[in-house]
Amino acid sequence: MKKPLENCTFVIIGATGNLARTKLMPALYHLYVDDLLPKDIHILGIARSIADRKEWLAELKTDLKERARGGLDESIFEGFCRRLDCLRSGLKTKEDYRLLSDYIGQQKFSNNIAFYFSLPPSMYASIATSLSEVNLLTEDQGWRRVVVEKPFGSDLETARNLQRHFERYLKESQIYRIDHYLGKETVQNVQVFRFANLLLEPLWNRNYIDHVQISHAETIGIGSRSAYYDGIGALRDMIQSHLLQLLSLVAMEPPVSMQAEDLRDEKVKLLRSISPIAKGAVSSHAFRAQYAAGDVKGNAIKSYLQEDNIPQDSVCETYAALKLYINNWRWRGVPFYLRTGKRMKEKHSMIAICFRQTPKQFFRTSQVEQFKPNWLLIGIQPDESLRIELTVKKPGLDMKTKVISLDASFNDEEGRDGYEGLLLDVMEGDHSLFLRADEVEASWKIIDPVLHSWSSQQDYIQTYPAASWGPDEALRLFEKEGQYWRSSLEPE
Ligand SMILES: NC(=O)c1ccc[n+]([C@@H]2O[C@H](COP(=O)([O-])OP(=O)(O)OC[C@H]3O[C@@H](n4cnc5c(N)ncnc54)[C@H](OP(=O)(O)O)[C@@H]3O)[C@@H](O)[C@H]2O)c1
């Protein structure tokens, strides 16, 4: 039984933004509906464009009508609103921060305060400094926590600089670097699946696993996020954060316990074991491309360069693939392939583990063809599932085989968004699903050589038609003939 949460004040800086409106406020509302929030919590939204409380709540209501599970309950919403306050502020001048401090200093606000930086990453450093200057980060009278969204830095150097800056004002225990992928039910199930089942452990190594694929594909393009995306690209946006996190959960050693520091120690150890990509080897380990125009069922789709506000000579990648090796006893020689793309054929995130071929073909004189390797497939979204593919005999007089899939899928009946659990973890002070500074640094170290190499190649980028699975040239990363990107959870 978890102990009840201490009362707290939850401050969302950037409360009118996309993240706050589509994820944070719906998550807080759902937690309120289920009576999981501290009883006297105050949620304070801050942004420059908040007109007044009435208008802010009206917008929130419209958002929640669209997003609330099972529809918005008017009377519950009224109760939720009593927990909400808002403040229009540019958070720029000393006076803005003094006003904020006075506002929070009112009796009704708890001294346990979480600040959620739901802001452009360029503002993280200055907001931390200014909050500190008005003593809002000092833990004299209650805890003070800061939740930072990804990206934490834009490469190794900037991540280190931001970290050094934070260290001036915050202890590591006060910082919650969020990766919402870690809040997903299936992602957490990777640990349970691996460490609660003896069956897998003997096979979970270089002796039995041929290679591992981790993919995240989106059908959408960059939409209205050109200003953010064009300087970032797919490698930073998805691989440095989410996909390397998935890799570390799939490949890490069993932690001493599931306590936050034990878990994070193992993830960092794993990330540090990844062989650095040498400068001269980037092209055999990494691949990038950009979506060209395409069509879906007769509907034309714009190319990346035709999106609003994208410079015509942009070589920003919307597709990135990486081959990594882990230099330890368990994994030496096993390639891990990471792939992500926008405007792909289907939306999916999955981990696909391909086992080695059987050592001997027993049925040579029969009609049995070359066996297909066993695959273990973990679907993350949209299907949360866990499947193991096996070869069995087809019923009948002939010795013919087929691949079947043992389906150990689990439906998250509650349908909770990952942010709900993560926000509760912040209030509880549980760091297990948040990234530690050394973990972020280790991830940037892995991709930094690729970023540098790509930034020096500004004259050309491969393209792929929108609504495709990306360019065939990406297959060159595979070590063996006939290997391919696994894009479906169904037997192929
Ligand atoms: N959106 C997502 O799904 C998503 C997913 C993962 C990570 N993230 C990260 O989450 C953060 C927020 O993303 P977002 O998509 O919500 O961005 P966004 O839509 O651009 O919203 C940014 C918010 O910051 C506020 N803001 C900007 N300048 C400000 C200032 N000087 N003072 C006070 N408020 C200011 C904006 O409101 P005003 O203009 O009204 O001040 C707005 O509320 C980013 O770091 C992003 O990388 C977002």
Q: Strands 294-296, 299-301: parallel, antiparallel or unpaired by DSSP?
A: antiparallel
Q: Is the CB of 47 under 6 A from ligand 1?
A: yes
Low-confidence ranges of the chain (pLDDT < 70): 1-2, 363-369, 411-414
Element (H, E) at 406: strand 401-407
Q: How is the beta sheet containing 434-435 ordered, strand by strand?
A: 84-88, 42-47, 9-13, 113-117, 144-148, 175-178, 434-435
Q: Is the CB of 19 under 6 A from ligand 1?
A: yes
What distance in angstroms lies between residue 195's CA and the mean position of ligand 1's atoms? 37
For the chain, how many helices (H) and strands (E)?
Answer: 15, 18
Whole-number Å distance between alpha carbons of 337 and 130: 42
pTM of the model: 0.94
Q: What is the pLDDT of residue 366?
A: 66
Q: Which two tokens stand for residue 236?
A: 């930073």
Q: Which of 199, 206, 142, 146 is nearest to 174 (CA)?
A: 146
Whole-number Å distance between alpha carbons of 130 and 126: 6
Look at ligand 1, atom 30, and give the residue with the nearest C-alpha: 90
Catalytic residue among 242, 285, 348, 431: 242
CB 351 within 8 A of CB 194: no
CATH 3.90.1150.10 fits 9-149, yes or no: no
CB 176 within 8 A of CB 302: no
Q: Could you write out the three-class secondary structure of 38-75?
A: CCCCEEEEEECCCCCHHHHHHHHHHHHHHHCCCCCCHH
Q: How is the beta sheet containing 335-341 ordered, strand by strand?
A: 401-407, 385-393, 375-381, 348-355, 209-217, 335-341, 319-325, 286-292, 462-465
Place of tokens 């490469």: 155
Whole-number Å distance between alpha carbons of 198 and 192: 11
pLDDT in tens, 435-446: 999 999 999 999
Whole-number Å distance between alpha carbons of 349 and 380: 5
Catalytic (active site) residue 242: yes
Element (H, E) at 347: none
**What is the biggest distance separating any 2 CA atoms in the chain, rounded to whole angstroms?**
85
Place of tokens 């949620």: 43
Q: Is the CB of 121 under 6 A from ligand 1?
A: yes
Domain covering 182-416+433-477, topology: Dihydrodipicolinate Reductase; domain 2 (3.30.360)
Whole-number Å distance between alpha carbons of 174 and 14: 20
Place of tokens 């409106």: 21
CB 251 within 8 A of CB 211: no
Mutation probe of ligand 1 site: the residue of 118, 381, 423 with most atoms within 8 A of C-beta: 118
Whole-number Å distance between alpha carbons of 137 and 132: 5
Q: Which of 74, 73, 3, 64 is nearest to 28 (CA)?
A: 64
Whole-number Å distance between alpha carbons of 457 and 459: 6
Q: Is the CB of 242 under 6 A from ligand 1?
A: no
185 burial (CB, 10 Å; 0-12 / 13-18 / 19+) is middle
What distance in angstroms lies between residue 143's CA and the mean position of ligand 1's atoms? 25
Q: What is the pLDDT of residue 358?
A: 87
Whole-number Å distance between alpha carbons of 306 and 375: 39
For residues 52, 58, 60, 66, the Cα torsion angle rounded to the nearest 10 degrees is -160
CB 325 within 8 A of CB 275: yes
Q: Does the N-terminal peptide bond of residue 311 adopt cis geometry, omega within 30 degrees of 0?
A: no
Q: Strands 348-355, 375-381: parallel, antiparallel or unpaired by DSSP?
A: antiparallel
Return the half-sphere exposure (C-beta side, CA atoms, 13 A cut-off) of residue 78: 2
Q: What is the pLDDT of residue 413?
A: 64
Q: What is the pLDDT of residue 40?
A: 93
Place of tokens 């009593």: 82
Q: What is the pLDDT of residue 367?
A: 64
pLDDT in tens, 383-412: 888 999 999 989 998 888 899 999 987 766
Helices marked H in 323-394 — which ranges?
Answer: none
Show Cβ contacts of residue 177 under 8 Å, excluding neighbours closer than 6 positions: 148, 150, 152, 434, 435, 436, 437, 440
What distance in angstroms lies between residue 105's CA and the mean position of ligand 1's atoms? 25
- What does the DSSP 8-state code read for residue 389? E
Q: What is the pLDDT of residue 240?
A: 96
Look at ligand 1, atom 9, and give the residue with the nearest C-alpha: 149
Look at ligand 1, atom 32, and give the residue with the nearest C-alpha: 90
Q: Is the CB of 16 under 6 A from ligand 1?
A: yes
- SS3 helix, strand, coil % of the chain, rounded to 5? 35, 20, 40
Q: Where are the domains of the chain?
A: 9-149, 182-416+433-477
Look at ligand 1, atom 34, and give the residue with the nearest C-alpha: 47
